[in-house]
A and B are shown apart, each in its own frame.
Chain A
Amino acid sequence: MDGPMVKAEEVHKRFGRLEVLKGISLEVQPGEVMCLLGPSGSGKTTFIRCINHLEKINSGRLWVDGELVGYRQAVDKLYELSDSVICRKRAEIGMVFQRFNLFGHMTALENVVEAPIRVKRIPKDRAVASAKDLLTRVGLSDKVDSYPAQLSGGQQQRVAIARALAMSPKLMLFDEPTSALDPELVGEVLDAMRALANDGMTMVVVTHEIGFAREVADSVVFMDGGVAVESGKPGDVLVNPQHERTKQFLAKIL
């Protein structure tokens, strides 16, 4: 694999008259961990939701693994892909949400095996075996039969990570994975993500955890008002920011 895993070129997104993304361009290489930082409303979450086409972009181009997201190009026109093709491509991208979104009527194990069995049509016994494996990897081997309501926030988020990994994604998207957690539960989720990064997973992480970004990220993008203000190595952007806006934000958050 040579090309970038994610490539964005002048991505614009509007909600009605409000322009949330005003031309985002960036590249994420295979195996890279990129952290998106920035104040609320800067468009970070909207941008990663565009990557798996949960939001449709209004203009620009967005590729995942060399393929246009949500559209196919014929001559110079774009056509939206059919629902089933979009679903097949989404299945290759894992996503972890701020509010976990575990399926409430299913146990931890059922949450993890659902998509492998129903979408990838993996035989049940194999799906269950690898799901138990994944739950053990995130430290939840004893919570296999618990319902989400019986788990703490941190445990729920780790189940959500296992659920996304069960589809063997080539890219993982994290949308503020620790923002809804009690402070003492943040560490266990970050540990799981750190382990994943060390395994070489390509990750795009929207986060407010500057410590995590500094330690784990290969690159950091600071977003504000729908544009990528500053990007580069965490050692540069976080330690020695060039833009006034980045300096203000970091001063407030550190």
Chain B
Amino acid sequence: MSTNKRFGWSVVRHYLTAPQILHGLVETIELTITSMAIGIAFGTILAVMRLSPNPLVAGASWVYIWFFRGTPVLVQILFWFNIAALYPRFAIGIPLGPQVGHVNLTSLITPFIAGMLALGLNEAAYMAEIVRAGIISVDEGQSEAASALGMTRLLTMRRIVLPQAMRVIIPPTGNETISMLKTSSLVAVIAVPELLYSAQIIYARTYQTIQLLIVASIWYLILTSILSVGQAYLERHFGRGTSRQTRESIFERWRRNLFAFHQDLS
């Protein structure tokens, strides 16, 4: 691999830090963060709704999840990109009352906004199920004790149930974030200049296709590695109170395991 000249490692090195690629990298990070934020926030609301005793509220959440999980995310991206064809003008006003104002959807929905909405709203459906699994994993006695202390349903959810559900929620959410980082490359189809599309623009001009795909892959790998470390720290934070042992930092654990490994060898 390293001796095959056709890989063109010098080209890879050259483009790895090219301004256009770095700009695409920033765009990818922004897209991942904003759409995951939408997914987690909206997904949590959907999960709480699905567990509501009110059948109308629970039903609305079910329909949402059914729809957004049931259609391809690529279709959803194209749909949001073209939404302005349905509603060129989006009026804001009181129903049957005066119109307060209006926005021009054609100019509001930029490719970036369309991609963010599509990825975020799609992610919400998956996050809803992850958060719901976390909530039902918390012992019922916890919310009963909170009720007996006079805490309302929402306060109990926010202060008692969700923090303990985190332990179950975080590993699959880390998975989703890593998956989102890569799925965000799909918005290349609506010409959002993120990492993959930036690479595509360059190789369309220079024909160095393989080299630029390697550049993009290297950056994706670096980002997912950073995310994995972040996930480990989050898990440690929300795992507090679950073990009898005193906690060691992740660095300490690595050092201890490495040390044990050396001992095994000698």
Q: Flag if A101 contacts B145 (CB, 8 Å).
A: yes
Report how far A105 CA is from B160 CA in the complex, Å: 8
Which residues from 130 to 177 on chain B have a C-beta closer than 8 Å to any C-beta of chain A? 139, 141-142, 144-153, 155, 159-160, 163-164
Check if A70 is an interface residue, CB within 8 A of chain B. no
A interface, size bucket = 20 to 34
A212 at the interface (CB under 8 A from B): no
Least CB separation from A148: chain B residue: B241
Binds B, one of A20-28, A90-98, A123-131, A190-198: A90-98
Contact with A along B227-264 (1 / 0, CB 8 A): 00000000000101111100000000000000000000
Other-chain contact of B144, A54, A87, A160 (Cβ < 8 Å): A54
**Do the beta carbons of A83 and B153 come within 8 Å of each other?**
yes
Q: A182 CA to B211 CA in the complex, in Å? A: 67
A-B contact count (CB 8 A): 79
CA distance A52 to B148 in the complex (A): 7
Q: Which of A97, A118, A164 contacts B159 (CB 8 A)?
A: A118
Q: Are A104 and B151 in contact (CB under 8 A)?
A: no
User: A118 contacts B141, CB within 8 Å?
Assistant: no
Q: CB < 8 Å: which of A107, A149, A167 contacts B149? A: A167
In angstroms, Cα B240 to Cα A149, docked, is: 10
A147→B146 CA distance, assembly (Å):
17
From residue B248, how far is it (CB to closest CB) to chain A in Å?
Answer: 16
* A203–B243 CA distance with the chains assembled, in angstroms: 34
Within 8 A of B (CB), among A48-105: 52, 54, 83-84, 87-95, 97, 99, 101-105
Pair A147/B149 contact, Cβ less than 8 Å: no
A167 to B148, alpha carbons, bound, how many Å?
11
A105 touches B141 (CB 8 A): no
B145: A residues at CB distance < 8 A: 95, 97, 101-103, 160
* Residues of chain B contacted by A239 (CB below 8 angstroms): none
Asked whether A84 lies within 8 Å of B152 as measured between CB atoms, the reply is yes
Most buried by A among B142, B150, B240, B244: B150
Cβ 8 A contact of A87, one of B150, B159, B244: B150
CB within 8 Å for A104 and B241 given contacts A87-B151, A118-B151: yes
How close is A94's CB to chain B, nearest CB, in angstroms? 8
Q: Tell me if A163 is interfacial: C-beta within 8 Å of chain B.
A: yes
A147 with B241: CB separation less than 8 A: yes
> Is there contact, CB below 8 Å, between A90 and B159?
no
A163-B149 contact in complex given A101-B142, A148-B241, A149-B242, C-beta closer than 8 Å: yes
Q: Which of A94, A103, A164 contacts B142 (CB 8 A)?
A: A103
Contact for A90 among B148, B155, B243, CB less than 8 A = B148
Q: Which residue of A lies closest to B239 (CB)?
A: A105
Q: A105-B163, A105-B164 are in contact. Are A115 and B142 (CB under 8 A)?
A: no
Q: Is A114 an interface residue (CB 8 A)?
A: yes
Distance to closest chain A CB from B52 (angstroms)? 12
Which of A89, A104, A119 has its CB near the most chain B CB atoms (within 10 A)? A104
| Chain B contacts for A52, CB-based, 8 A | 148
- Smallest beta-carbon distance B106→chain A, Å: 45
| Closest Cβ neighbor of B238 among chain A residues | A105
Contact (Cβ within 8 A) B241 A115: no
Q: Closest chain A residue to B160 by CB distance?
A: A103
B148 contact set on A, CB distance < 8 A? 52, 54, 90, 93-95, 97, 164
Q: Which residues of B contact A94 (CB under 8 A)?
A: 148
Alpha-carbon gap, A99 to B159, bound state (A) = 20
**B149 x A119 contact (CB < 8 A):** yes
Known interface pairs A90-B147, A105-B163; A97-B141 also in contact (CB < 8 Å): yes
Among candidates B142, B150, B241, residue contacting A149 with C-beta atoms closer than 8 Å: B241
Q: Is there contact, CB below 8 Å, between B160 and A115?
A: no
Chain A positions within 8 Å of B149 at CB level: 90-91, 114-115, 119, 163-164, 167
Measured CB to CB, the residues of A under 8 A from B are 52, 54, 83-84, 87-95, 97, 99, 101-107, 114-115, 118-119, 147-150, 160, 163-164, 167
A-B pairs with lowest CB-CB distance, top 5: A91-B150, A101-B145, A147-B241, A115-B149, A101-B141
The 29 listed contacts between A and B (C-beta, < 8 Å) are A83-B152, A83-B153, A84-B152, A87-B150, A90-B148, A90-B149, A91-B149, A91-B150, A95-B148, A97-B141, A97-B148, A101-B139, A101-B144, A101-B145, A103-B142, A103-B146, A104-B142, A105-B240, A114-B159, A115-B146, A118-B151, A118-B155, A119-B151, A119-B155, A149-B241, A149-B243, A160-B145, A163-B149, A167-B150
